[in-house]
Amino acid sequence: MTTKTVSEWQDEFQKQDGELVPAPQLGTPANLAPPARLIWLRSALAELSLPTDWLAPAEALAVRATEMRRDAALASQQAQVRRAGAQNSLATDPEATVAGVAEMWAAQGIWLDVPQGMTRPVALQLAEDGARQIEGALSA
């Protein structure tokens, strides 16, 4: 039995799919996540000198999803700072009370505490779900 070389197999596969039109597979634009696919599409259309202005609504959605995640992450960091500040105030501020600090601590929970059965704080989960919902609309 004759063993084919890699080059020969490559030639056969090129013959099979005509080279110019490979079957969709992992790593092709069709399988990218919606935001990445949108970026790729804009770039491809621009390279082909085709209009891209009609992508503006989709790009606005992608920006909104990105901002939603970014704002939530920023708010979470700020909540962490507030918590640390409240904790420190017990030692540095004579007028600070445990009740006041506890109240401040608890108020940040939505941004920082991971409830049982979840993988991230409630607010961050809401932001992620919302962003994914928006990104889902990109493909609709």
Residue 12, interface with another protein (CB under 8 A)? yes
Which of 117, 40, 25, 128 has its CA nearest to residue 76? 128
15 to 34, contacts with another protein by CB under 8 A? 15-21, 23-24, 28-30, 34
Assign 3-class secondary structure to 89-103. HHHHCCCCCHHHHHH
Q: Per CB under 8 A, does 139 bind another protein?
A: yes
Which member of 54, 91, 94, 99 binds another protein (CB under 8 A)?
Answer: 54
Residue selected from 3, 6, 47, 116 as contacting another protein according to rule CB under 8 A: 47
Stretch that binds another protein, among 53-61, 84-92, 101-109, 117-125 (CB under 8 A): 53-61
CA distance 68 to 124: 9
In the three-class reduction of DSSP (H, G, I as helix; E, B as strand; rest coil), residue 81 is classed as: helix
